[in-house]
Structure 1
Amino acid sequence: MNRRLAQFDLVKPKYAKEDARMKAFYASTDYVNGLAEQHLGFIWRETEENQQLLDQLWGEGYLYTLSLWKDVESLKDFLYDTPHKAFMRRGGEWFDSISRPRVVLWWVEDGHIPTLREAHSRLTRLYEIGPSYDAFDLRSSELPAVLY
């Protein structure tokens, strides 16, 4: 079975989209998405975000990224070894802290496109039982727990 890494990231902006304090974030999204799409390990990302469903699943005001990657190493390389890292460092300027995990990873069969409902289920599983093969995060991606 060929597998791909599904990635979901949930954030809650501190300010409205029109607020001047969010200008740098929104001005950078096309650039950062372009970096991801040009990365060798990138496969797909959702471009038609379903804000209505997102609001139903998590409450109003959240943003998300849902994407597919070749493997964990490719995702980590994009996150930490490209200009994306500088934008991650600024996350505290733009986003509220979320007390629960806000990023979840899981394996999917090659050709499967993950859905927002699927991401919700996986993130909920990570909240409730912790890292497992079915739902893990970057810190637990190399632990034995993801192997069972």
Structure 2
Amino acid sequence: MKHLAEINIARFKHDADDPRVAPFMNALDKINGIADRSNGFQWRYTDETGNATDTLVMDDPRVLVNVSTWATVEDLETFVWGTIHKQFYQRRADWFNVLDSMHFAMWWVEPGTQPSVAEAMDRLAHLDTHGNTDHAFGWSHLPQATRWRSAQCSNIAAE
């Protein structure tokens, strides 16, 4: 059975060391720790910070990237919408700008796969250009995914 990979990017409204984004930055280890211990969690990209906060994406130091893999759609859904992560999602407009392009994509991978940030960014660009395909897709492409509908996903900012 294939696993689910995801990429999520977000652009801070302020520099990462700005007090206005401190609530997000101060909770990052906790949120990632919850993900790491969640049912079905397989892997997440980290850099030397233990997160991915020093990884330069889109030549913009304010852009954060998250790439992870999960055993099932339901496992990712439970983490995103069924843990404290949801509270941070609901506050995303406090910390992040609205992007002009897609900021979240998923795709199927073989178990044990650890996608590179470059591959994940390519998947995101593919979704932005082509919409939902088997190569890259959003929640609406997955009939078994239902929680996102009630979570008011929108273009406010990063998921």
TM-score range, shorter chain: 0.7 to 0.9
For residues 112 and 26 of structure 2, the distance between their equivalents in structure 1, rounded to whole angstroms, comes to: 32
TM-score under structure 2 length normalisation: 0.82
Q: Secondary structure, in 3 states, of the residue corresponding to 1:135?
A: coil
The answer for the alignment partner of 2:59 in structure 1 is: 59
The answer for the alignment partner of 2:97 in structure 1 is: 96
- Which residues of structure 1 form unaligned runs of 5+? 144-148
For residues 111 and 98 of structure 1, the distance between their equivalents in structure 2, rounded to whole angstroms, comes to: 31
The answer for the alignment partner of 1:138 in structure 2 is: 139
For residues 47 and 26 of structure 1, the distance between their equivalents in structure 2, rounded to whole angstroms, comes to: 15
- Which residues of structure 2 form unaligned runs of 5+? 145-159
* Deviation per residue, 1:12-42 (Å, 9 max, x gap): 0000112110110100001100110110111
Q: Secondary structure, in 3 states, of the residue corresponding to 1:68?
A: strand
Q: Secondary structure, in 3 states, of the residue corresponding to 1:139?
A: helix
For residues 65 and 101 of structure 1, the distance between their equivalents in structure 2, rounded to whole angstroms, comes to: 14
Pairing 1:75-90 to 2, within 5 Å after superposition: 75-90=76-91
TM-score under structure 1 length normalisation: 0.88
**Stretches of 4+ moved more than 6 A in 1?**
none
State the shift of 1:70 in Å: 0.6
More helix by share: 1
- The percentage of counterpart residues that share the same residue type is 31
The answer for the alignment partner of 1:31 in structure 2 is: 30
1:120 matched to 2:121? The reply is: yes
